[in-house]
Amino acid sequence: EELKGSIKPATPASIIDTIVVPLKYHHVISQQGNFFRTLRSFGVQVDQSRQPSKSAVPTRPPTSSAPTARIDEAEDESAPKTQWEVVLNYQDVEEDDSTWTLKARDQAGLERAQNLIKEAIEHAQGMSHVGFLTMSERSVFPRIVGTKGANVARLRAETGADITVGREDNTIVIIGSESAVEAAKNAIVKIAANPGRPRRNQD
């Protein structure tokens, strides 16, 4: 009896729970990996039962079949010309779900992760539109992105839109509510149109 009393039950290595996440929201929620890094900072690891099989970033519809496309040419002749098109989001997506298994070090971390994921799903549900902003030249992209992505991060925080700057083409994909998409587009066009001048010339 004394021996039994001296043996402590093994403490679990992690607290485990599951949550179901629609595959179609995966790209918006993951924030290009930033979301999972945040969860790890809570002491939570995530195993996903399924990954989306389709491209994460929505692709622009063929321009020939998009009569509603709007061409917005900047009034300033020196500003780069842009092409802008908005379509409804989640039109051609996987409707299946993925089960996320959360492995947390403690209950507090697990609850923080659960709340963050639920908020992210609700946020993704409101990302109803996709905007495709095509710039006439890629030379403005470094200015739009900012140092280490600072400008894009700021615009995401200010507008609530998800912004993906194309690496292969001249198109920036903006996902969010209709108003957030428009706000992000206007801000990006403004950054692109302002080349920025050395401070010493602004005295």
pLDDT category at 196 given cuts 50, 70, 90 is: low
Which run of H or of E encompasses 122?
helix 107-125
CA distance 169 to 160: 24
Please say if the pLDDT value at position 66 is more than 50.
no
pLDDT of residue 28: 87
Q: Are 129 and 88 in contact (CB under 8 A)?
A: yes
Ramachandran region of residue 137, left (φ > 0), alpha (ψ -120 to 50) or beta? beta
Longest dimension (CA), the chain: 89
pLDDT of residue 200: 43
Name the pTM for this structure. Answer: 0.72
Please say if the pLDDT value at position 174 is more than 90.
yes
pLDDT of residue 60: 77
| Residue reference for tokens 């609850």 | 111
Please say if the pLDDT value at position 32 is more than 50.
yes
Amino acid found at 157 = A
User: Of the ranges 12-21, 63-72, 149-158, which is most confident?
Assistant: 149-158
Token output for 30: 């993951």
Q: How many CB atoms lie within 10 A of CB 155?
A: 22
Q: What is the full DSSP assignment across 135-197?
A: ES-GGGHHHHH-GGGHHHHHHHHHH--EEEE-SSSSEEEEEE-HHHHHHHHHHHHHHHH----
